[in-house]
Amino acid sequence: MTNRPTSAARLTLAGTAAATLAATAVLLPGTGAATAAPAQVAHQARAAATLAARLGNRAAGSYYDAASRRLVVDITDASAAPQVRATGAVPKVVHYSTPQLRTAVADLAKQARIAGTAWAIDPRQDKVVVTADPTVTGAKRTRLDAAVEALGGRAVLRHTASPFKLKIAGGDAIWGSSVRCSLGFNVTVNGAPYFLTAGHCGNASSTWSDTQDGSEVGQTVDSQFPGTDYALVQYDDSGSSPASEVDLYDGSTQQITGAADAYVGESVQRSGSTSGLHGGSVTGLDATVNYSEGSVSGLIDTSVCAEAGDSGGALFDGSSAIGLTSGGSGDCSSGGETFFQPVTAALSAEGATIP
């Protein structure tokens, strides 16, 4: 664990979240030598995603290409290219539409919901990327191979070196009766103070402390897992006003002013009570992970690492809350893949707001 803040500081944080996205200039499509802040890139990326959704079977998603510093919208009909260019994005003609790829996802949900597997649509490849961990062997592997093969070119199978696991452990950070997790974001519900963490954490404990065997600071009032993965914890002190900040694990904090949906190619960062601060990018949306404890859908797939105890910790981009750490494979020594519960979905379901 890195530079753990004091317990008093822990309760003023918006989570064990990550550092601000560096405000490096980026070239936007159609701007020539002009530059824009990451917030503008995010705005245009979401506008491109809205257009892709509106185009229906004439499109197949959108993403930010960090290498060329351009936003891309996949289209299956070249006549849609002018509409794409009008948003400032670059059109790319691909074979499979969003509805076709979503049908592939639905088929996988029926035929291959096997513990140790995951899948998400990757617009950069115009495919559903299916992942199997080392536990998928024998009859399970045969079943998965058949399901992927039946999808033809709509899907590709890859393998991860370590099993998919929920990032929960006994130890540090926010402590439950027999587990520890990481606080995500401080929120309010009808003016009262709460915080968000992972649902599998909320399932594991009804009360929480900021120190091991310490005094109770909050109670789990709602917990959703499997299916989704978020929990709402109410602070015992109804008069407290926890700050909307995140711990950067270097003695400083980052203010969080709101929540936003992720987009493929987005640079994000995460921090948790075990591994501290780490970054990466969004590689897929609406991902499904089949943990041994149950399946979760609608997740954000990323190249960010995480370790046991980081569950519930916050994923964010600058001042925007993005996700809550769910689980994944690998670690922060060898690298890994981590899935996150979208914060916007949790806020909507709970009637909560970022302070």
Note if 229 is an active site residue: yes
Q: Look at the block and give the residue holding tokens 């929990």.
A: 231
Please pick, among 271, 311, 320, 326, the residue that the annotation labels catalytic: 311
Note if 200 is an active site residue: yes
Distance CA 129, CA 28 (A): 27
Residues 14-53 as b or e (16 or more Cβ within 10 Å = b): bbbbbbbbeeeebebbeeeeeebebeebbebbbbbbebbe
Torsion, Cα 303 325 353 233, to 10 degrees, reads: 180
Residue 6 CB coordination number (10 Å) = 10
Please pick, among 74, 97, 126, 200, the residue that the annotation labels catalytic: 200
Q: Look at the block and give the residue holding tokens 């963490």.
A: 197
State CA 165 to chain mean position distance.
Answer: 15
State CA 71 to chain mean position distance.
Answer: 20
Note if 95 is an active site residue: no
To 10 degrees, what angle do helices 98-111 and 138-150 make?
150
- The closest of 87, 85, 58 to 74, measured between CA atoms, is 58
Please pick, among 210, 229, 247, 310, the residue that the annotation labels catalytic: 229
Tokens (6 digits) for 240:
């407290």
DSSP per-residue string spanning 95-144: SS-HHHHHHHHHHHHHH---TTEEEEEETTTTEEEEEE-TT--HHHHHHH
Distance CA 145, CA 137 (A): 10
Tokens (6 digits) for 175:
């402590």
Residues taking part in catalysis:
200, 229, 311
